[in-house]
């Protein structure tokens, strides 16, 4: 039964990644069809992000009232409905409306699944599950591309993903009885839901929220501006830059596959520190004045360094803060992550526009420094978490 549920969760993480890259791959067609500015993609992203933040903050309260399995199934159903809504939209304002349930569903399922795995499974599964998210995020644009080239249009791409999500909803509904884990589940649901003020007041909470904010800010800033940096600062063609920038995502996906094996030997804090060190090495390569090759290598190293940090931070949360607080902490961590991804990449865009895109490695280094300092404060201020067997 445990293995069957784990298979369902792996499938869920692939499903989580499927829609995440759809908007970017479909937008060049969408904005022309609806005759809106290309920048309007930012409006949709912002609506989705706000919904994700709101639902992440409410996830602890909802799971205490219902269960992780029920919330996951309902959240995936909400995203499936939203994706189908995208596929039948005939104007931009309709996309904006459907973006609301999309964000609400995505945030809650993300927080619920991450906490459930952190409570019940070893660290290696957290790394491999996030690797599966990368697989889903890679498959999404392929499905959209097939729909576009096959004459189904961008609406067909969204409809295909909606159907896949619907199949997952059925699988989740049939697996609900498998989600009961009496010992740790009851421990995690003891007491009343914590308010945001109470969560932030927990010793170490501010440090981990800052560290998580910085990690996601670094990851998204690196991903969003890598191609522009290689093109504008190093003179690569757009095609060459896009190819090398994609290796950043390959580094994350491959790194998470590898870090799953490393968790069998090293603890979560050790892997987080190792990831920070590899990111530092990658940023150092960006500073080297020897043409574009060191920068290209640096992007791969940054991706590899990012790989273990997200899953290991999430997995260590119950051990660091207690199982009864983990869902609340992970929900707020998710919200902090989305705030970081919303604010910091656009901020660098302003810096690049008004000063120089050459400050890209400086900006990444500053974020890494704050993240490292915050995590060091957390691990020196309380007992380091231990991996599960």
Residues 60 and 205 in one domain: no
Q: What count of Cα atoms within 13 Å lies in the side-chain half-sphere of residue 191?
A: 14
Residues (pLDDT < 70) of the chain are: 1-2, 180-192, 238-239, 242-243, 245, 381-389
Number of domains in the chain: 2
In a domain, 190, yes or no: no
Residue range of the domain that includes 249: 196-381
In a domain, 327, yes or no: yes
Q: Are 87 and 275 in contact (CB under 8 A)?
A: no
In a domain, 184, yes or no: no
In a domain, 388, yes or no: no
* pLDDT score recorded for residue 160: 93
CATH number at residue 214: 1.20.1250.20
Residues 135 and 201 in one domain: no
Residues 313 and 365 in one domain: yes
In a domain, 330, yes or no: yes
Q: Containing H/E element for 293?
A: helix 292-306
In a domain, 389, yes or no: no
* pLDDT score recorded for residue 95: 94
* pLDDT score recorded for residue 382: 57
pLDDT one-digit tens code per residue, 317-361: 888 888 888 888 888 898 898 888 888 888 888 888 888 889 999
Q: Final residue of a domain: which of 176, 208, 230?
A: 176
Q: Final residue of a domain: which of 146, 176, 206?
A: 176
Residues 171 and 206 in one domain: no
In a domain, 189, yes or no: no
* pLDDT score recorded for residue 190: 52
Q: Final residue of a domain: which of 143, 176, 209?
A: 176
Residues 92 and 226 in one domain: no
In a domain, 88, yes or no: yes
Q: Which residues contact 222 (CB under 8 A, 6 or more apart)?
A: 248, 299, 302, 303, 306, 364
Residues 206 and 242 in one domain: yes
Residues 202 and 117 in one domain: no
């Amino acid at each position: 039964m445990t293995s069957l549920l784990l298979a369902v969760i792996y499938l869920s993480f692939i499903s989580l990644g499927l829609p995440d890259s759809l908007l970017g791959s479909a937008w060049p067609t969408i904005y022309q069809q609806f005759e809106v500015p290309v920048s309007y993609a930012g409006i949709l992203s912002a609506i989705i992000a706000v919904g994700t933040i709101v639902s992440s903050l409410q996830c602890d309260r909802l799971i205490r009232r219902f269960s992780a399995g029920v919330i996951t199934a309902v959240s995936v159903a909400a995203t499936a409905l939203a994706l189908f809504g995208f596929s039948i939209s005939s104007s931009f304002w309709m996309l904006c409306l459907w973006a609301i349930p999309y964000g609400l569903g995505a945030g809650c399922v993300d927080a619920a699944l991450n906490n459930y795995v952190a409570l019940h499974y070893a660290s290696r599964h957290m790394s491999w599950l996030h690797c599966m998210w990368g697989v889903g995020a890679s498959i999404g644009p392929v499905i959209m591309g097939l729909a576009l080239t096959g004459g189904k249009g961008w609406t067909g791409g969204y409809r295909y993903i909606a159907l896949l999500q619907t199949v997952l909803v059925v699988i989740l509904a049939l697996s609900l009885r498998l989600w009961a884990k009496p010992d740790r589940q009851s421990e995690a649901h003891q007491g009343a839901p914590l308010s945001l003020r109470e969560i932030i007041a927990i010793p170490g909470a501010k440090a981990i929220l800052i560290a998580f904010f910085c990690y996601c800010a670094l990851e998204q800033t690196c991903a969003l501006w890598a191609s522009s940096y290689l093109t504008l600062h190093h003179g690569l063609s757009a095609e060459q830059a896009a190819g090398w920038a994609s290796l950043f995502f390959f580094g994350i996906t491959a790194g998470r596959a590898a870090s799953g094996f490393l968790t069998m030997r090293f603890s979560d804090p050790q892997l987080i520190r190792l990831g920070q060190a590899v990111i530092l090495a990658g940023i150092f390569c960006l500073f080297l004045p020897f043409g574009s090759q060191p920068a290209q290598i640096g992007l791969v190293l940054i991706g590899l360094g990012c790989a273990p940090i997200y899953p290991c931070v999430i997995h260590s949360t119950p051990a660091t803060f207690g199982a009864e607080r983990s869902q609340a902490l992970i929900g707020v961590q998710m919200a902090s992550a989305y705030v970081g991804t919303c604010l910091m990449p656009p901020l660098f865009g302003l810096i690049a526009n008004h000063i120089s895109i050459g400050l890209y490695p400086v900006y990444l280094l500053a974020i890494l420094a704050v993240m490292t300092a915050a995590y060091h404060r957390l691990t020196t201020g309380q007992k380091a978490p231990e991996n599960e067997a």
